[in-house]
Amino acid sequence: MKNNCKISILPEVSRTDEPVNIKLSGLLKNEKVTIRALSNDYYCINASIFDVGDKSIWESYATFVADENGNIDLENAQPIEGTYENINNMGLFYSMSVKKNIKANVPTKLSDIGENRSYTITFQVENNGVVIASKEHKRIYCDSNIRSVDIIENNLLARYFTTKDNTPKPAVIILSGSDGRIEKAQAIAELFAMHGYSALALSYFALEGTNVSLSCINLECVENAINWLKKQDTVIKNKIGIYGRSKGGEMALLAASMFKDISCVIANTPSCYIYEGLKTNKFPSKHSSWMYKGNEIPYIKFTFSILLKTLIKMMLRDKEGIAWMYSKLIDKGNINEATIPVEKIHGPILMVSSSKDKIWPSKIHCKTIVKLLKKSNFKYEYKHISYEKSGHMLTIPYQSIYPSNKYPDDIDSYGEANVNCWNETISFLDKWLQLNLK
């Protein structure tokens, strides 16, 4: 008796932050099969473009046993082996890894950077190594209803996303982490646009027209972004928020404390302190990360002894080495001068952290922010959410992490944390949308 395997994927086209239902039918009773997911155009927000090329081949798989009716529903099916372990209909998405890395030249001009609006995943069912069914599925960051505009002005390099109907909406400025580029920021901006916001992905270094390194970044770039947004018919003028993750979270908090037009802040695994900047070779720059009107913002300096001990830890493959370094810098540094005055922010603040953050102590940073806000009787809502096992990468749900052993304690906990974090982010924005700020 032969099977007549069919793959059902609903919805047929899905948003990148949207779950899908995958079901197999037409198998034999108790038949063991492997479902493999493959993509050669996957834009993964968590992978460095310097490490993984945009044409690399990604893969995940899971093996299941069909039920008595010859069906497998990934929503309730337990993998007997695979790239993820727990029952999860999105396990094949967040557990993808690079099967073949095809590196490419990294563009330096905004005009040469694609928008990565969609990618395709091919799902194939295998029995004893033979493919018995196959189906393609399209995932989108944004659809054709979203238009984009590149902004290349003095001290402003950005890409703007909004709906084609040109109706006024709240706007969000998005800042990526310590890569400073546009790719990761625009992925979030595209999804924000799909959720009804105008979104501006801002590059603050590493692209032509911006600083060459993460040192002495002019905060005028955020100020100019605000002024540009206020001139747009697609923006509600008193509804400009900012989202930043990692180093971009540090920048977002600092900018919001300085520019009163920012009325909502989402700080994803941020710092509450200003740290010393970095040269292109990643060595300390002996300058602040940030400056405004020609003046450097006071910062915590790297010290030779802490850097030396950190280097030793890294040579010994200590995964906690970098986070240890930042914790020691806090203990030894001039934190009073370098603390971001978050109490000056003119709107609600959402903070996201992880107790297993191996990049820097984001949970300590966020708890410090909470203390400062409590002490100042901060009049707006503030919320801190911390995840125990996710690691530093808390971005878009159902995204892979590469390499898989780099950040999370376990891939399934990482997947759950990202879903919750993103839902909290969208809910916080939607609540801000309804808020009347004075």
pLDDT in tens, 345-377: 999 999 999 988 989 999 999 999 999 999 999
What whole-number distance in Å separates Cα of residue 210 and Cα of residue 420? 34
pLDDT in tens, 374-417: 999 999 999 999 998 888 889 999 999 876 556 566 888 889 99
Q: State how far the alpha carbon of 231 is from the alpha carbons of 150, 170, 264, in Å.
A: 15, 13, 19
> What phi and psi, each to the nearest 5 degrees, are found at residue 340?
-70, 130
**Would you give the distance in Å from CA 395 to the centre of its chain?**
3
- 3-class DSSP state for residue 189? helix
Please check the confidence at residue 438 and state whether its pLDDT lies above 50. Answer: no
The first and second tokens of residue 78, run together, are: 């337990």
What whole-number distance in Å separates Cα of residue 415 and Cα of residue 399? 8
Burial of 4: CB neighbours in 10 Å, binned 0-12, 13-18, 19+: exposed
What whole-number distance in Å separates Cα of residue 315 and Cα of residue 312? 5
Average pLDDT (312-334) is 84
pTM of the model: 0.95
Decide which of 410 and 198 is more confident. 198
pLDDT given at position 364: 95
CB–CB of 45/396 below 8 Å? yes
pLDDT in tens, 122-179: 999 999 999 999 999 999 999 999 999 999 999 999 999 999 998 999 999 999 999 9
Question: What is the greatest pairwise CA distance in the chain?
Answer: 78
Average pLDDT (297-318) is 88
Decide which of 90 and 309 is more confident. 90
Taking each continuous run of H as one helix and of E as one strand, the counts in the chain are 9, 23
Decide which of 105 and 173 is more confident. 173
What whole-number distance in Å separates Cα of residue 334 and Cα of residue 329? 9
pLDDT given at position 418: 94
115-119, 187-191, 355-359, range with the lowest pLDDT: 355-359
Q: State how far the alpha carbon of 31 is from the alpha carbons of 37, 291, 411, in Å.
A: 19, 63, 27
Band (pLDDT 50/70/90 cuts) for residue 311 is confident
The first and second tokens of residue 94, run together, are: 């967040």
**What's the mean per-residue pLDDT of the chain?**
94
* E-state strands within 302-380: 349-354
Closest CA to 347 of 202, 196, 241: 241
Q: Which H or E run contains 225?
A: helix 220-230
Q: Tell me, what amino acid is at 219?
A: L
Decide which of 406 and 211 is more confident. 211
CB–CB of 314/324 below 8 Å? no
Average pLDDT (34-50) is 94
Please check the confidence at residue 1 and state whether its pLDDT lies above 60. Answer: no
Domains identified in the chain and CATH numbers: 6-140 (2.60.40.2240), 146-434 (3.40.50.1820)
Decide which of 53 and 422 is more confident. 422
What whole-number distance in Å separates Cα of residue 309 and Cα of residue 66? 53
